[in-house]
Structure 1
Amino acid sequence: MTDSSTRHPADNTLRFLFEEADLRGEIVQLDRAYTDILALHHYGPGVSRLLGEFLAAAVLLATTLKFEGKLILQARSEGQIPLLMVECSSDLEVRGIVRGAEQATAERFDMLLTNGQLAITIDPLKGKRYQGVVPLDGDSLASCLQNYFEQSEQLRTRLWLAADGQRAAGLLLQQLPAQLVSESAVRDEQWNHACTLAHTVGEEELLGLVPADLLHRLYHEEALRLFTPRDTRFRCSCSRERTLNALASLGVDELESILEEQGAITMDCEFCNTRYEYLRDDLSALLPGAQDGPLH
């Protein structure tokens, strides 16, 4: 196993294209973005690794977005993890949460997410929200995502994922619409060849090798074009304004009841543990008769 203390700094993605085939790929490695999220919560080793795989997968899939918005992976199950949700924006800002898994001790995917479903949501800043759902009936997140893409009739897409509690990493391959090669048999051969080579990569290599070195190890006989890496980071999208909008849905009577009982209303963000507190004066826009004034 590669010693985490000897690893190169990560938190970025590297895009690459095959020069002689209609194929693209992406490699992501997350260090601080991953450990910053883990530091906010108390998850068991199996949960932490699975969350890392979800984070890596969300970033890889978000790199395929051609518009501003975000991609959301949400798993619900009857297993030791009732809910796991990860978001990645088109700017590659990620956040994630595992709910109800404080006592989870399992290591296996099928025990953590028993009888589960995975929802993949594309939420553009402008335009229609789209969601696809697939059963979590594979032996890994990568295999479940493979099933999703095979069933959804989208571009052929494969992912390889790994996480060890210190780093999360992933490799994505995607077949592009025919431009360089039109013969379906040749396209199939190129796709299968690229996937077969990718399937030889181990978790240690995915987590430990510099992306350019990993690509050389896999595809040194192929002509590849490498792009400038893009940074990714943990950033929560919560805000005082958003929590205030959420309070507006409670209704005046409930707000008054909470204020009378507690003197203030507090809301905690599950993703980043930020606490927002509202006194009566802060809720002037929501409560008739409250002191007028700007919201803090």
Structure 2
Amino acid sequence: MTDHQQPLTKTQALAWLHGQPDRTIATTVSDLARSWGWNRSTTSRRVKVWVAAGQLVRTPGPDGRSIFTARTPDVPQVCDAAAALTSSPAKSLVIPTVSLPVQSSAHCEHPPGGIAQHVGSPIAAVRITRAAGGAALAALAVAVAWFGIRINAWYGGTLGRTPEASTLLSGLSVSADVLALILPTTARTLWTDRRRMAAAVAWALWTITIAVALMATVGFAALNIADTTAARAKAVTERAALTARIERLRAERGGITEGRSVAAIEAELQRTQPGAATVWRATAGCR
């Protein structure tokens, strides 16, 4: 395979696969990307779409390669491929001649009833369900990553004795979390590209970062559990002291034999105060 000077379109890449002997080729995604002038991630996504649509069969092959077998696409896609091949020729690009069963233009404009009914088929429902489930799992993963990063950033900040140290430790915790999220994908990509040593280094770094992240998470949990336990113990102690004080005050109140109200006692004092003025002055206010 030779690298193309101008990137192929999606229809041209599919036609390129159809132009291979027996519509089958044993290669890797990276080699396909170089042959089509694409990057590897775009090529991987497009191959997955074709495999899911039944236009391409991917079988694991020897030496890390895959065997790609092109299948006849649906009628609307064939019409689009034929139109793209006839209307937009690429410069300095050689496309193998492909013999595809293309129906008339009337069929292209008005797809047969079987294709229209295929939209509501159980396969379409399964794909919609899988897409919805994937979106829900992706949202949960983003939420877990967000809260994990916040937890580790907070815990890292609590370990610093100065504001600068707290900021540095928080940044270190966040960086470790981000690396722990990205490194598995990077390691897998490197392994697929047969860069075994680089993939091993990525997995080693991931092991270190995940250990740091787990330590921060465990520290956060331990600190908050200890604080919550201490707060509950303090509340229990204060409640016991208040209960004892209430019981003591009730006992003292039970020992008071005076049955009159405070207002009645105050009125009696005001009434008898003029008669005790002489004693009040003689004793300097009962002192």
| TM-score band w.r.t. shorter chain | under 0.3
Output the TM-score relative to the length of structure 1. Answer: 0.23
> Which has the larger strand fraction?
1
Rg (Cα) greater in structure:
2
Structure with the greater relative contact order (CA < 8 A, sep ≥ 6): 1 or 2? 1
